[in-house]
Amino acid sequence: MKNILFYFSITVLCFNCKEQEQVTTIPTSDEVIKLTEKVANWQIETFEEQGRYRALPSPENRKKWNNRNKHHELDWTNGALYAGMFQLSEVSRYPKYVNWLIELGDRNNWQLHKRMYHADDHTVGQFYLNLHQNNRLKHIASIKPTKARFDSIINSDKGKEYQWDWCDALFMAPPVWAKLAKVTKDSTYLEYMDTQYHMTYDELWDNEAQLFYRDNSYFDKKETNGEKIFWSRGNGWVFGGLALLIPDLPKDWEGRAFYENTFKQIAQTLKRTQREDGTWSAGLLGDVKDYPNVETSGTSFFTFGIVWGINNGLLDKKTYEPILLKAWSALEKCVNEEGMLGYVQPIGAEPGESFKDYTEVYGTGAFLAAGSELYKYIKRFYPIDKTTDHITFMEDGGWCWYQDPRAIISNEKLIIAGLSGQSGDVRLGVFDLKSEQQDSTLVLHKNLQVDDHDVPALYKRPDGSVLAMWAKHANEKVHYYTISDSNNYLKWDNPKKFQHEYDSKKGVTYMNLYYVENEGKLYNFFRDGLNFNPTFMTSSDHGETWGNRTHFISNDVEGFQRPYVRYLQVDENTIGVSYTDAHPRAFGNNLYYVEYTNNAFYNVDGTKIKTLDEGPLRSSEAEKLYSGSDTKEKPIINESVPNSAWTCATAKDENNNPHIGYTLYLDDSDHRYRVTSWDGEKWNDREIAYAGKYLYKAESSYTGLFAFDPEDPTNVYISTDVNPSTGEDLGENHEIYSAKIRANDDISTITWKPITENSAHRNIRPIVVANGGYKVLLWLYGPWHHYEDYDSNVIGVILEKPE
């Protein structure tokens, strides 16, 4: 699908005491994120030589701190940069931003800067605490030094004195105190912050102007036009700081209203003081002719605060959107070709000059925060629709990849299991392949849970009816299931429940339905809540009733580990099993394969390993197909263990030889796709494509995945956001590619053909379904952020139809 760029023309007011009509263009979310990343990339690349680009006042106005040295990495200047970089890391697809922050924190041992009481030296604690709030990063981002410093302050006599006697401090320290209170669930830190904040407010707030003086030395100073002097960046520190602070205040806390009201009052002043060029003067109430240059640090903080305020319901969209768009348009013009943000006022304490070709790291931080929040704004209020040139088989559906089959073809109907990312409904789509029209989308279980792990597995029963079976993601000891009418897939029984009994609070997940003919049993292979190991239960009546719960594979890696499994119906009596040692987050996985038949485990060449009566298969007892790093060790920036395999696709050829597809994690930005195929005598293992970047940080092993054609596994379909043959970053969303891969092919000989191009959203998790002369390629398309936050449709291509 071609990316649809769209523009909206709106009327804005120019604040020069009379209304003028001006057309402002709303940028696309893609334009905003790319510019924001460009600025971030430039800053990271030049970080060690930042002194070369530092804005300095004219020689006659320089102080001792106006120099060409690099700022200390724990200095407040960099602390503001890190705050903006973290905001970007929350919305960018690129891992470099969060990984850069992790490296900085680790390099500095997660310490605050040297002065115990000074708010400036607390600023870096913001990004420490932000990283620590990510469950996967708690063990990396230590908050102990920050907590120890703040505990010492609270328990000292000096700490009880007035600390924050300049308005900049309201950005530097209060968000750290509030977030520490939230993370530790200790209101002592919130109470301290509130007391100190009110001291500053009581001294420096001007109720008439609804602005903060920089400090008490400005009470009697005037602009040349007679107005009071209110420094733009000083108030930007406060306004941006409030946007960082307020989200961490308890919603039911009576003190919260004070901060929200202060924020809204400053916004009202900003509304009436914005210049015609979209910026704010370094002296907010001064005459524009006294401030001929634009100033981007204050403007960036104001832009960040305004867009955050609209996004969070504190500011009226209709009123403030014109202001926001004018400000962003002005900031765009201040970014040069290399990505440097110019016109940042040098370090100081009052309104001053700025220079086109010089910057400062705090200005970059404010810009990154503004761009990141604007990206959220456009995605929310002006989303790109999911219109596509491909067939939409089912709307509002998503799936994980450890449940199978997720789609089947029966009686010329494509039946698709899905889980709504909006409501948490368990959904079932029925698509008529002959007419190429949707029949309907059904809800099998309303409001189960927004989690793509909960998607059902499907099984066609001998009478033509279909069984659907699902469960919550490891937080309920229940399997749900229902059976359709034999002739009408729009009619289903009321769901039944199978209640598991075992001594653990963790629940079951991942359903896989396969029938074994010589046993007359339908197997449901799933992950158990008792030990997180592969387990099965069986049904002798094609899913009407269930029992015989059995531990199937046991982990060998020390600790509470979870082998991940993909299953394959090799023949009517044999189940192929491809699995790992553990989660790639915990271990550098090897990849194994075993076949299960007649209650016993066999290697692919038919040699027997053991019977199930002897106990579950230990993960290392099967044949190893790929040797990973075989360790728990990983670099500080890696969420997963390098050289870690993860099984993702299985198929068999016409001779029932298994083909196993898997991903390989090298680092957050570099995943690979690999295939290993049994030719009757040996395994043929090779790399077939670059898989690109992770889908998101917390699950850094997640890729777009790939699928085999179930009737001919030499036909392969992949999802990647890079050039699949070279790894070149294309700067776009994940696209779907296809290729013919024969036994002697590897990444150097394979030619990948795009099925999608220039897509507005990610195309991920393809599967191929075939039956009755039909063959269909399906995948997920739409906004997809993580397994509990997505809005995808199931789209695709009918590859083959009967003559």
Structure tokens at 182: 């939230």
Enumerate residues 6+ apart whose C-beta is below 8 A from 138: 132
Structure tokens at 13: 């007011």
The answer to whether 168 is a known catalytic residue is: yes
* Catalytic choice (168, 451, 452, 528): 168
- Tell me how far the alpha carbon of residue 721 is from its chain's centroid: 15
> Quick one: angle between helices 296-311 and 232-245, nearest 10?
30
In order, the DSSP letters of 246-311 are: GGGS-TT-TTHHHHHHHHHHHHHHHHHH--TTSS--SBTTS-GGG--S--HHHHHHHHHHHHHHHH
Cα 235 to Cα 99, 120, 244, 303: the distances in Å are 31, 16, 14, 12
Tokens 């867009």 found at? 307
Enumerate residues 6+ apart whose C-beta is below 8 A from 432: 412, 413, 414, 438, 439
**Of 557, 552, 564, 647, nearest to 600 (Cα)?**
552
245 within 8 A of 310, measured Cβ to Cβ: no
234's enclosing H/E stretch is: helix 232-245
SS3 551: strand
Enumerate residues 6+ apart whose C-beta is below 8 A from 161: none
Structure tokens at 726: 């070279």
Structure tokens at 715: 């036909």
800's enclosing H/E stretch is: strand 793-800
CB atoms within 10 A of CB 16: 11
666 within 8 A of 643, measured Cβ to Cβ: yes
User: Burial, 121: exposed, middle or buried (Cβ in 10 Å; 0-12, 13-18, 19+)?
Assistant: buried
Phi, psi (degrees; rounded to nearest 5) at 139: -75, -10
CB atoms within 10 A of CB 68: 11
Long-range contacts (CB closer than 8 Å, 24 or more residues apart) made by 549-554: 549/500, 550/612, 551/615, 551/616, 552/525, 552/612, 552/616, 552/617, 553/577, 553/579, 553/616, 553/617, 553/618, 553/619, 554/615, 554/616, 554/617, 554/618, 554/619
The Cα–Cα gap between 631 and 650 comes to 26
Annotated active-site positions, please? 168
